[in-house]
Amino acid sequence: MTHTHSTSPALRAIAEKVNNQIRITDQDCQLLFEEASLGFVGTLANQIRESKNGNRVYFNRNFHIEPTNVCVFSCQFCAYSRLYANREEGWELSIEQMLHLVKKYDGIPVTEVHIVGGVHPKMNLTFFKELLAAIKAHRPGLHIKAFTAVEFDYMFRKAGLSVEEGLKTLIAAGLDSIPGGGAEIFHPEIREKICKDKVNAEGWLAIHETAHQLGIPSNATMLYGHIESYKHRIDHMHRLRALQDRTGGFNTFIPLKFRNKDNDMSHVTKSTLTEDMRMYAIARIYLDNFSHLKAYWPMLGRQNAQLSLSFGVDDIDGTIDDSTKIYSMAGSEEQSPTLTTNELVDLIRQAGRDPIERDTIYNVVNDFSIQVN
């Protein structure tokens, strides 16, 4: 084990746990955030990544549909949404317009469409049920990963349905899995300051747990690097780890870096690259029951995403194809996020890893490690 010569006995004990595949505690995690060097957590995270995923780095061929950026909520960190009262500044797509976006990919080997957007009072359960059914009718093999728990919470309450009834309705229409958005920070001390009016932690977790029980996998996210402290990050990951212990339904964890352009938190300094890499590494060490850790490359930038592969990350999302505005509007590194499959493969190869194209649930679609250009 490297880095132990100048390391405290408490940190050495954590390294020992990791080496013996013993779960670290919340107190251990706090110590890693407060005292461990980047090299120390990076080494441990890399070890875990290797034991879980070998030399493989995953990506997928996907595109995004954002039905609207009009939203009834006013989250402090959001540079994307326009309140319903100011909806003429935003966009609202019809089912026909969204189906047209799907048809643009006819004959192109995408495996997933990712549908998330603002919470629009007129876009209800019936509307989205029709949308999913229309997409499935047009392209049955396309995996639909759609709606955050925030969107579900609003549409189910409005329809007067329980979470289970609402999810069953959408599953019947074609819903295949759920993205991890809307989690932000679970702890009420922070949640009430940054997004007080949307679904709370218990609501978010209940929706994902119900989905898992119905056989629908999901992802989990955390928005970090704003006004939260380490204890809030740990509380957030603790709740996710506990749910994963119960259901095993999460595919991957995605730390999302706070961006401070054009939102109500522009005064908050964004995290440094070192802090970003420490976040990935510590998440990889703590979330021992998550198979995958994803760096969302449009948010980090392609070079930093490549760097994250040395800090526990084994997934850098997909080709995206410039179809998302959520991060670019908040000042992300990539303002027009498009990478071709070949570019993604090269990015992964340059980091000395084996590029694997996956589907949404991590089945191998193409193994590029054995193909020579």
331-358 tens-digit pLDDT:
444 445 567 788 889 999 999 999 999 9
> What is the radius of gyration, based on Cα positions, of the chain?
20
- The pLDDT of residue 328 is 44
Q: Which CATH architecture has domain 9-370?
A: Alpha-Beta Barrel (3.20)
**Residue owning tokens 């194809």:** 321
Over residues 201-218, the mean pLDDT reads 98
Q: Is the pLDDT of residue 252 over 60?
A: yes
Over residues 127-149, the mean pLDDT reads 97
Is the pLDDT higher at 235 or at 76?
235
| 26-35 vs 9-19: helix crossing angle, rounded to 10 | 120
Specify the range with the lowest mean pLDDT, choosing from 25-34, 63-72, 168-177, 244-253.
63-72
Q: With b meaning 16 or more CB within 10 Å and e meaning fewer, what string describes 333-364?
A: bbeebebebeebbebbeebebbbbbbbbebee
Burial label for 332, CB within 10 Å (0-12, 13-18, 19+), is buried
106-117 tens-digit pLDDT:
999 899 999 998
- The pLDDT of residue 180 is 96
Looking at every residue in the chain, the average pLDDT score rounds to 89
13-42 tens-digit pLDDT:
999 999 999 999 999 999 999 999 999 999
Q: How confident is the model at residue 86 (pLDDT cuts 50, 70, 90)?
A: low
Spell out the residues 6+ positions from residue 325 whose beta carbon is closer than 8 angstroms to its own.
66, 69, 80
Burial label for 218, CB within 10 Å (0-12, 13-18, 19+), is buried
- The pLDDT of residue 300 is 83
- The pLDDT of residue 117 is 87
Specify the range with the lowest mean pLDDT, choosing from 32-36, 51-55, 264-268, 299-303.
264-268
Over residues 183-189, the mean pLDDT reads 95
CA–CA gap between residue 50 and residue 46 (Å, rounded): 6
CB atoms within 10 A of CB 151: 27
Q: Is the pLDDT of residue 80 over 80?
A: no
CB atoms within 10 A of CB 193: 14
301-317 tens-digit pLDDT:
888 999 999 999 999 98
Spell out the residues 6+ positions from residue 120 whose beta carbon is closer than 8 angstroms to its own.
67, 68, 70, 71, 72, 84, 92
The percent of residues in the chain predicted with pLDDT above 90, rounded, is: 70
Q: Is the pLDDT of residue 321 over 70?
A: no
Over residues 117-135, the mean pLDDT reads 91
